[in-house]
Amino acid sequence: MFSSVAKENSPAIRQQVIKSGAPLLVVMVLRHFSEAPGEVQPVLRRAVNAIRLVGLDDQATAGAVRLARAPEALKKIISRFPENASLSKSASTALNSIEQSASSGL
């Protein structure tokens, strides 16, 4: 849902969604399903794509995403699903975005 709202609406609506706390909900999904048993790759794909859409250029949002331990969840996804190239690549891209926002915020 977050992804479709962020992609298909105006920047003002996207900012409202980001300010609503949706990025932290996405991080909670990432953290839970990065360790959950079973076939969780479809959920993880959606969550990773959603975290990539988050406004990481906003330092408050980027900081909250880092504090919620998104980088750790993304690293678990990369190590848990190395055979799924698209999921691992998307998780790596999201992780790089988070790390870049951390280094630019210093």
Cα separation, 71 vs 54, whole angstroms: 14
d(Cα 93, Cα 101) in Å, to the nearest integer? 12
pTM of the model: 0.81
For each successive 10 residues of the chain (106 residues), what is the average pLDDT?
A: 62 73 87 92 90 73 88 95 93 90 70
pLDDT for the residue 9: 61
Q: In the chain, where are the structural domains located?
A: 2-104
pLDDT at 105: 62
Q: For the chain, how many residues are written?
A: 106
Q: What is the pLDDT of residue 6?
A: 58
Q: How far is CA 44 from the centre of its chain?
A: 9
What pLDDT was estimated at residue 57? 67
d(CA 87, CA 100): 20
